[in-house]
Every structure is written in C-alpha cells, then in structure tokens.
Structure 1
Amino acid sequence: MVMTSEFISTLQRVENVSHLLSKMGESTVDEAVQRIESICAFMERYGDLGEIFEHFKELESKLFMCREMLTVEEAAEYIGVSKSQIYLMTSNREITHFKPRGKFIYIERKELDDVLRRNVIYSKHEMNRRAAAETMADLSKGNRKAKKGTGK
C-alpha cells in the first residue's frame, strides 16, 4: 500500500513536470533543467519566499532612481541625507529645483549627481597628472612668447 501511494505521488510529480514543460514552449529538456537549476540557485540565495518578496519590494522602492526628476524624499535617499537637509539646500538655493504647482519640490537627478561630485579630493596620481599637464601648458605658453619676442 505504501509503495502504491509513493508510485502515484511520483506519477503525479512527473505529470506536473510534463505540464510545466509543455507551458515552457518548444524548450528542450536541457533548457528546462537549466531554468529549474537557476530557480533553485535563486531560492538557495534568498531562502524562503518571504525573503524573495522583501528583496523585490526593496528593488521596487529603488526604481525611482531611474527617473530624471525626484521628489524631496527620493532625493534625500538618493544622496544619503535627510529630507530636512534637502529642504535646507533648496531654501539656500544650493541646488536647482522646480515647483511646478507651487508646493511640491522636484529635483533633477543630474543636479544631485553634481552635489555628490562637489569638494573633490584628488588622488596623488591624479594630482601628479594634473601638475604635469599644467607644466606642459605653461612651457607651451612660454615657447610661444619667446618666439613672438624674437620676431619669428
């Protein structure tokens, strides 16, 4: 009796897999196995479905970063500061912002990228490269002045 129920259970699983494969279209068995393995790897990575849903919620909440115009809340999250810091930056006119209806503030993402690039601190390598380029430019200017002074 136990073997019969196991056999029926196995047949049912085979039938379910067959049904699944038929829904996948003209895929080969190897492609189906690869898809199933990738799903299994994904499940192992995130554990249970609850963790997967949390991961998707987090991704969904970050999708705003793809838009060009962000709200104050989104801007604050984008550059990692508080909303009050964003309001302070807008009231001090440190960043360009828009108020299309007079109330809600919108900020361009590229403006926020510029904020993140302020107060740059160059590496030693970059400082040496810039110094060399400036020296070459000065030498070039000096050569031009010398040529003008000799009448050539």
Structure 2
Amino acid sequence: MSELIKELRDIKSLVALNKDILTMDEFCAYAGISKHQAYHLTSENKIKFYRPHGKLIYFDIEDVKEFLLQNPVNKKNKFKS
C-alpha cells in the first residue's frame, strides 16, 4: 500500500509541474536532480534563475528546458568503437 501512496504522490508532483515558473523543489523534481546539484548549478551560473526577493529561487520552465536540452548526443557516434 505504501508503494501506491508513493506513486500517487509522484503523480501529484508531476501534475503540479505543469506551470511556467518552478520553485527549487519543483525544478529538482522536473530535472531529476538533488537540491545539492541544483544549488551547485545556480552558484556556478550554469542555469538561469531568478531571485525576486529574499532567498527564494525560481526557474522559468523555458530556461530549464533549454538547460536540459543542451549538449545533445549524436547517436551515430555514441556507440562507435
């Protein structure tokens, strides 16, 4: 039963991600990374982020998509010996 509850929470989280601006937690869930990795990306200015006031960090979904889709892998050369 706990596995079902976990899956329902995961689905709820995914549905919540259907928006234009993401919080740090939502960004981590969307990108599949830890908060530690996310803070590293922001501190190194590797991903565009916004801090309108205080300590809260926000991400524009289009910036996130652009970041995640950089460095595409050429399938022809991927498994070449």
Relative to the length of structure 2, the TM-score reads: 0.75
- Aligned residues, how many? 76
Q: Does 1:110 align with 2:59?
A: no
Alignment counterpart, residue 100 of structure 1, candidates 42, 52, 59: 52
Q: Does 1:120 align with 2:72?
A: yes
User: What are structure 1's unaligned runs of at least 5 residues?
Assistant: 1-48, 125-152
Q: Secondary structure at the match of 1:70?
A: strand
- Larger Cα-atom Rg: 1
- Which whole-Å CA distance do the structure 2 matches of 1:83 and 1:91 have between them? 12
Larger relative helix fraction: 1
- Which whole-Å CA distance do the structure 2 matches of 1:82 and 1:51 have between them? 21
User: What are structure 2's unaligned runs of at least 5 residues?
Assistant: 77-81
Instruction: State the structure with bigger RCO (CA 8 A, min sep 6), 1 or 2.
Output: 2
| Coordinate RMSD, CA, aligned | 2.1
Q: Percent identity?
A: 29
- Which whole-Å CA distance do the structure 1 matches of 2:2 and 2:46 have between them? 42
Q: Does 1:58 align with 2:13?
A: no
Alignment counterpart, residue 77 of structure 1, candidates 29, 32, 49: 29
Shift of 1:60: 1.6
